[in-house]
Chains A and B, each alone.
Chain A
């Protein structure tokens, strides 16, 4: 990186955040028009913490993280904004820089562990390949490292299983192997895209606990993408709720899940049945369907599904998109006043 780009660093960037995304826009050109999948998103991840990103499918969660990894196809995607990883800007350079970082400093775990492992190569080879490429290790060193990592993630008989192919592994073991592969170079940042969605609850609990233990040992920061608020409550330090390509609410897990301020977050929380909730009352879903990103609604993208636009003064909600405020701490993008939000939430809290 040149000194010039370093001095251009965005003023909003906080000192302790080592990943900082500023005003990110990602749009895809399709036959039907331009899909604005991410539309002005800013967030930060602090060292050693977990950021949970929640939202419905199509809210831009995965697109954001593929942008961090530089995995979008250049021909069909337009990306603007800034992504700072330490002192490196990730959108500009592409190519070589990303290749050095990807798998080494920044790693990813995908949702489906079967399709993201190569069926033609042994588990051990797939894990050691990453290590050898980035650390220049020999074949034997790579193999030892693969065995060590498999042991760390709790694969029994790692010395033997290292020569197995992915189809020899069960779903939970494959996801463990993926985690071993992601952590083999001891990355600073791990992006986990729905890591437990394809797994059963008992295995999900194992994997989430494992991620948390490994985070404590390695000091890795994690971005955990999920649609399951339970998973977030269980694992994340900070939470960002996304809607239509933007952050609707952001804060610590206790703030967002304990005292949520955005009507969409209320809707998400009231939609899910819980083991302790009353079974005699119907669930309270968010009405309507998520907006089309080809032709998003004017104003606040949530207004067609929101129950409270009257409270905020409807013109504003219908015409102008609310910004996420305040800049730091617990923030939300909604025109309701803080008092209105607190009062409304207090009213509906009992029914959640």
Chain B
């Protein structure tokens, strides 16, 4: 049994219009029918461009949002529509780490209160007292336990993110949802935090849903990777499947767009999409990527491609595409942007 199972999960946010009498004029299709599982102790990476719904999906999984339809199943129990009270015991098992280490810590509370707070709320009395446990946690995340009484502003960005990690660990969670935990940090600090998370994952066996837009970081951290585009998962599979044998044109385009810090490697193929992600209020019919895809045909506009294990894919490698890429050959350069052609 998987720890977390998302089944046909959908979240629409209403868009209000009108001058005096506000009425709903549309929906933002933030997450649209996503199936995803996270096993115990497993790390699943979630990549995609901004606005593709990856953060919303993270928040749905933590049940910070209530889904419009579909199910969130945690340890076999459907928690999609539980009330606050019913959710309380589960909250301590699913924790979040947020992107911005500045706004996610209360500036008026000391580090001790920030990390100890969750224990008090959940009425957890660790051995040796809360303060002892907080100091222990500070040490685990690589901070000085002496800093117990300091305020967040006395720490650097990387140190603050460590405080956020310690807070997430305070309740011994089984699942941590990390929403862009390192993207606000400088590279050397980013590496420190990635190493810390990885070590915690190994030592404590915590499952991670790791949301990030940096494909290299996700590759480094995750066993399985899901690629999202406009509210849907377009491809999912083992790390090596996604990074070495991508079948969806979008995954392919994403990978080819990552600038690598090396000069003398053989030239990678160059795929330059035109424009930006379309509006999720009125997503394209059929395959949502078709408006930016160089392989799109009539069928793509008419039929939504199902997320399935297409011919040639390994076990568990699912791709939602009518005209998938050939996994073996190196493709031609594709330049769709009129200014670059």
Contacts and interface: CB of A to CB of B under 8 A. Distances in A.
4 nearest A-B residue pairs (beta carbon): A154-B339, A230-B259, A285-B191, A229-B261
Given A200-B213, A201-B215, A282-B198, A268 B260 contact: no
Contact of B216 (A156, A200, A273, A285): A273
Interface in A231-273: 231-234, 253-254, 257-258, 267-273
11 contacts: A56-B188, A154-B338, A202-B273, A205-B259, A206-B273, A209-B337, A233-B260, A254-B264, A276-B260, A285-B191, A286-B188
A154 B337 contact: yes
Contacts, number: 148
Q: Main secondary structure on chain A at its contact with chain B?
A: helix
Interface string B204-233: 000000000101110110000000000000
Interface stretch (A12-20, A127-135, A165-173, A181-189): A165-173
B69 interface: no
Contacts of A202: 49, 253-254, 257, 272-273
Given A254-B264, A275-B243, A206 B259 contact: no
Given A229-B261, A271-B188, A289-B159, 18 more contacts: A172-B275, A202-B254, A202-B272, A204-B257, A228-B259, A234-B259, A253-B263, A254-B264, A269-B261, A273-B220, A275-B215, A275-B255, A276-B260, A282-B195, A283-B194, A285-B190, A289-B189, A290-B156
Nearest to B192: A285
Interface of A: 56-57, 152-154, 156, 170-173, 176, 200-206, 208-210, 213, 227-234, 253-254, 257-258, 267-277, 279, 282-287, 289-290
B135 interface: no
Contact of A231 (B213, B243, B259, B339): B259
Contacts of A170: 275-277
B156 A289 contact: yes
Interface of B: 49-50, 156, 158-159, 186-192, 194-195, 198-199, 213, 215-217, 219-220, 239, 243, 253-265, 272-277, 337-340
Nearest to B199: A282
A227 B186 contact: yes
A206 B187 contact: no
Given A56-B187, A229-B261, A289-B158, A201 B340 contact: no
A276 B262 CA distance: 11
A258 B263 contact: yes
B49 A206 contact: no
A253 B272 CA distance: 23
A19 B308 CA distance: 57
A209 B259 contact: no
Contacts of B190: 271, 285
A153 B188 contact: no
Contacts of B258: 201, 230, 275
A267 B190 CA distance: 12
B77 to A, nearest CB: 33
A213 B340 contact: yes
A304 to B, nearest CB: 13
Contact of B259 (A204, A210, A286, A287): A204
B296 to A, nearest CB: 16
B273 A257 contact: no
Interface centre among B195, B259, B260 (most CB of A within 10 A): B259
The residue in B195, B260, B265, B338 that gathers the most chain A C-beta atoms within 10 A of its C-beta is B260
A284 B257 CA distance: 24
B174 to A, nearest CB: 23
B216 A275 contact: yes
Contact of B264 (A203, A258, A277, A283): A258
Nearest to B47: A201
A272 B261 contact: yes
A154 B239 CA distance: 35
A123 B243 CA distance: 39
A234 B219 CA distance: 21
Contact of A254 (B219, B253, B263): B263
Contacts of A234: 259-260
A176 B191 CA distance: 31
